[in-house]
Each structure stands twice: as C-alpha cells, then as structure tokens.
C-alpha cells in the first residue's frame, strides 16, 4: 500500500474582506504530514483570519481550502472534528466543570465505550501534566492552566497524530517557560508521528528554533514562505516589523537581537 502524499491541507487563492476592507489577499498555503509550520506577522496581518478559514470556521470571499484533496465544506462536522482540531488564543467556558469533564468534550465526535473515552482523557491529561488534578474544578485554575486543559481537550479530540491536523493559535502566550517547552515537545512528537502541525507565534526566536517551514503575513498578504533560515532575514524583519535586527549564534541556536525601530515611534 502506497503511503499518503505529504500534503494534507491546501489553501489556494484565499481572499477575505470585511466590507470594503481586504483582510486576506490571494493567500496560498499548504500543510504537510510530519511537519511543523508556523505563521508569523505583526498585529493585524491576518493571522487569526487565515486560521478561521483553514479550520472551516469562516468562508473566504474567494479561494478554497481542501483536506486530502476534498473541500472542507464537503466533510460532515463530526468527520472533520476527528481529523482537525483548533486551539484558539482564549477559550471561554463558565460552567463549573472539572478538568476531566472539559477534556471529555473533545470526545463528543466519537461513538465509543466509556472505557475508550476514559483512556483518551487520561492519555491527553498526562501529556499536559494534569492527570493527577483531573477532578479539580476548571474555573479555579489560572489562565495558563486553563489553556493546558484545552490543549488536552483537542488532543483527546484527535485521539492520534497520524493523518491529523493540529492547529494552535499563540499556544504559549499564557504559559511559563516549562510549559512553553512542553507545548513544543508535544507539537514535535505529533509531527514525528504523522500529524501536520500549524502554530501561530509572535516570538521569532521560537519560530526559528521549532518551525520547519514558516509563512510571514503582512497586511493580509504572504511576504515570505519557506524555511525559517531562508525567510526570516534581517531585511524581511525590517520590512515587516519596522525594526533593525540581526541573528546571533548561541549554543547551536540563533537568537534575534533587536537594535531598535527603524524610525522613532509616534
């Protein structure tokens, strides 16, 4: 049996408008199995809008998004949920659920035994270091702990990495350093086991270290796409972020040194 092609998700010619304002302009984008892809760009560049289109939450003004060559709109919602999971920057939940009950929501697309559901919940909570706290109340957690619970929820939703699409929007924003690296370890593990992993990040140091490919957005357009070392040049960073910066080698990693804005801030 031939292995599946590397490409799992393709967006072509994506345009999106809010009234007369263009949000995305002719964006082409692919995700591949076994790869971590990162989207970066300044505030208002269109990153969150692109994620909403890629997940099927929003329909583009023009263009298409296909999962394994099939348009997202053709999938039943439960089938799509078992293949693709999305963790937004914030998740609002005000009911007095336990941690376990929040993660169990991720198993709603499945018709399975209680034993299978429990096993999936346990596996996901172990990944984020919260299994021993499974019966604690969700509402009493810190913001970072809640984000870890929701990460466990979407891991439980997918169940297994192979042929899945894991999409995380600013997943480390509210986490301390230990759990930031835990998120990247999970992303790497899922990619190594056949998932296509997509992260939106603001930190270019994290992008350079963990991404295998990167897309840079500016004003709704793709201004760079390729490997981080190819794309994240001082010239592009100056053009997109309006800062003078250069990369410094440190213990086999590249760190971005920002010298200052290209012009005085108003």
Q: What is the pLDDT of residues 14-47, one digit of tens each?
A: 999 988 889 999 999 999 999 999 999 999 999 9
Q: Taking the model in full, what pTM does it have?
A: 0.93
Tell me which CATH homologous superfamily contains domain 7-95+160-232. Answer: P-loop containing nucleotide triphosphate hydrolases (3.40.50.300)
Give the up-direction half-sphere exposure of residue 154: CA atoms within 13 A in the CB hemisphere: 25
Q: What is the pLDDT of residues 142-152, one digit of tens each?
A: 999 999 999 99
CA angle 81, 29, 51 (to 5 degrees): 45
Please give the span between the terminal C-alpha atoms of the chain, in angstroms, as a whole number.
61
Q: What is the pLDDT of residues 48-105, one digit of tens each?
A: 999 999 999 999 999 999 999 999 989 999 999 999 999 998 777 888 999 999 999 9
What does each C-alpha distance from 262 to 136, 234, 237 come to in angstroms? 49, 12, 11
**Please, are residues 138 and 130 in contact by the beta-carbon 8 Å criterion?**
no
Domain boundaries, the chain: 7-95+160-232, 233-266
Nearest to 84 by CA among 100, 97, 63, 70: 70
In the numeric block, which tokens belong to residue 193?
A: 């086991």
Has residue 107 got a pLDDT over 70? yes
DSSP state, 244? E
Has residue 1 got a pLDDT over 80? no
pLDDT reported for residue 247 = 94
Report the chain's C-alpha Rg in angstroms.
19
Bridge-partner residues for 200, per DSSP? Answer: 39, 169
Place of tokens 């979407």: 154
Nearest to 47 by CA among 174, 240, 221, 166: 221
- Strands 165-169, 62-67: pairing kind: unpaired
Nearest to 12 by CA among 20, 24, 2: 24
CA distance 213 to 208: 9
pLDDT reported for residue 248 = 94
Has residue 265 got a pLDDT over 60? no
DSSP state, 111? -
**Please, are residues 41 and 218 in contact by the beta-carbon 8 Å criterion?**
yes
């Amino acid at each position: 049996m031939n292995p599946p092609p590397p490409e799992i998700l393709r967006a072509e010619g994506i345009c999106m408008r809010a009234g007369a304002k263009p949000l995305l302009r002719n964006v082409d984008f692919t995700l591949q199995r076994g790869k971590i892809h990162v989207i970066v760009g300044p505030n208002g560049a269109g990153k969150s809008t692109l994620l909403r289109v890629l997940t099927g939450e929003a329909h583009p003004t023009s263009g298409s998004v296909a999962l394994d060559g099939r348009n997202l709109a053709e999938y039943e919602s439960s089938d799509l949920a078992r293949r693709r999971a999305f963790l937004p920057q914030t998740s609002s939940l005000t009911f007095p659920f336990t941690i376990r009950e929040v993660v169990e929501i991720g198993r709603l697309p499945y018709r399975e035994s209680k034993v299978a559901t429990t096993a999936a919940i346990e596996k996901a909570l172990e990944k984020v270091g919260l299994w021993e706290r499974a019966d604690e109340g969700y509402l009493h957690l810190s913001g970072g702990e809640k984000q870890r619970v929701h990460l466990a929820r979407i891991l439980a939703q997918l169940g297994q990495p192979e042929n899945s699409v894991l999409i995380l929007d600013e997943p480390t924003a509210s986490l301390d350093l230990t759990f930031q690296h835990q998120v990247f370890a999970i992303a790497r593990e899922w990619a190594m086991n056949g998932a296509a992993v997509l992260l939106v990040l603001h930190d270019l140091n994290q992008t350079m270290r963990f991404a295998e490919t990167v897309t840079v957005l500016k004003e709704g357009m793709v201004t760079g796409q390729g490997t981080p070392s190819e794309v994240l040049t001082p010239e592009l960073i100056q053009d997109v972020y309006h800062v003078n910066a250069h990369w410094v080698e440190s213990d086999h990693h590249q760190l971005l040194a920002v010298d200052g804005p290209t012009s005085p801030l108003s």
